[in-house]
Chain A
């Protein structure tokens, strides 16, 4: 543990850059009028030479054997060797024994405020000499400066790391919440293809969009998609309530309009007596009932943009329960209901207003008309094609999209082509 910490510490000091250490050695040498100065860091095993002045290039690290540096770091105060030749411990040091033949050494330990010894600032001369009290005091100050700088930078890097950690936590929480609000996988409905996507505008802000597809009684299926106003944890909690209320409501009364009315009652109750403007939601709730080789779809809407159907022939039409109102804040709200058929090759699209309220290049809202025109031009096929077309539209709108968008697409697979397939040799495109 200690060793790991030490290595990390040195990795950090590497990032400090050599300039700082070079200035320290330059100052130290000048103060002493000495030819050699170094800054060294020491851990359990190694001596790391961070800067050296007046010496041939030094190895970046060397074994921490007995020697000048190893002795200096264990001292409480400046360690002075006036004549290394006469000092048996110092005499073993390679710098004393070999090149350049150090005789004098003064070393001030670099000690952090919590008492950790990091290394030393060292001044050396090739002749035996004495140091003045003033020189030693200056050397002590230099070592304290290095320690102070080190601690400052370490604290700063710790703060940055802590903030990064906090931010990562928040993002993880947001993503976890989002996952609980959206079904991980849509169930397989016989005779139906279902696909859904969620396009968030910001990675760390939880939106209030939701959708689901689930079995009802017999062979009927329920689905919904909607948007709770607001953002953040409050909206997420409310979205959770909305989602479970809609699913539970459908168990007792799968009539789509009744499901929305029940949700309205629950939301009104939830915020009764609250002084703040109560939050509301918009939603489309639908029931699918198998009918021949397609489905009958009954949709109820509360304040939500119209669903769209891309028919097998490429035509796009709105399925709009006209006049459905916001859920959760109005007295006696009206929820409208409408039925249609989904035949082979038809695809139904439910979306939240992040899509239709997006701004186009001209600065105007995309709107239901813009979305309809786009789908009519692209003529996507099946739930997956529809989803891909919407994804491309959102990508193309780019910065024009300012709110999250949830998309749910349901399609009835097309009939196998009744037309005899073309022979390979005549399958050419005529222009």
Chain B
């Protein structure tokens, strides 16, 4: 299948202790390196929060899922609190079947995630 929505990754520092990473478009084998690079550049301090805003995510393949799991583990290793926000119902359903709802703290919207982590 061809996905040509591309992927944009934007880091939006919300406060000194909370960063929001906005991931929009198709997250797949071809676009995953962009998210990977953005994650590698993140500085995650102990006690800080990281919200990954996926409300603009249109597609997520296995590489994307792998990468989100890795990001979650990295944040936890750094003592930071990771959260997902704005998952599309189809993707949320796939995550639920994969048992990832037990792993990720997930919020309806970025605002709710920010409020929970602050």
Contacts and interface: CB of A to CB of B under 8 A. Distances in A.
Interface string B66-84: 1101100100000000000
Contact of A367 (B65, B66, B73, B93): B93
A325 B93 contact: no
15 contacts: A230-B63, A277-B63, A277-B69, A277-B70, A279-B66, A280-B66, A306-B97, A325-B98, A326-B65, A326-B69, A329-B69, A330-B103, A334-B99, A365-B90, A402-B1
Contact of A277 (B66, B94, B103): B66
Given A277-B67, A329-B69, A365-B90, A303 B98 contact: yes
Central interface residue in B62, B63, B69, B93, by most chain A CB within 10 Å? B62
Central interface residue in B67, B93, B99, B100, by most chain A CB within 10 Å? B99
A304 B103 CA distance: 16
A298 B51 CA distance: 39
Interface string B21-50: 000000000001000100000000000000
Contacts of A279: 62, 66
Interface string A296-322: 000000111110000000000000000
Central interface residue in B69, B93, B97, by most chain A CB within 10 Å? B97
Central interface residue in B67, B69, B73, B98, by most chain A CB within 10 Å? B98
Contacts of B62: 229-230, 279-280
B66 A325 contact: no
B73 A325 contact: no
Contact of B103 (A305, A324, A325, A357): A325
A302 B94 CA distance: 13
Interface residues of B, number: 20
Contacts of B100: 303, 325-326
Main secondary structure of the interface of A (DSSP, over half): loop
A414 interface: no
A305 B103 CA distance: 17
Interface residues of A, number: 27
A331 B73 contact: yes
Given A303-B99, A334-B99, 6 more contacts: A230-B62, A324-B99, A325-B99, A326-B65, A353-B94, A367-B93
Contacts of B32: 277
A323 B94 contact: no
A24 to B, nearest CB: 47
A107 B67 CA distance: 73
A402 B59 CA distance: 13
Contacts of A331: 73
A353 B1 CA distance: 16
Contacts of B73: 331
Contacts of A230: 62-63
Nearest to A320: B97
Contacts of A357: 94
Nearest to B67: A277
Nearest to A324: B99
A278 interface: yes
B40 to A, nearest CB: 11
4 nearest CB pairs, A to B = A325-B99, A229-B62, A277-B66, A303-B98
Given A326-B100, A333-B99, A365 B66 contact: no
Contacts of B98: 282, 303, 325-326
Contacts of B70: 277, 329
Nearest to B61: A229
B27 to A, nearest CB: 11
Contacts of B99: 302-303, 323-326, 333-334
A273 B65 CA distance: 19
Nearest to B72: A330
B69 A305 contact: no
A360 to B, nearest CB: 12
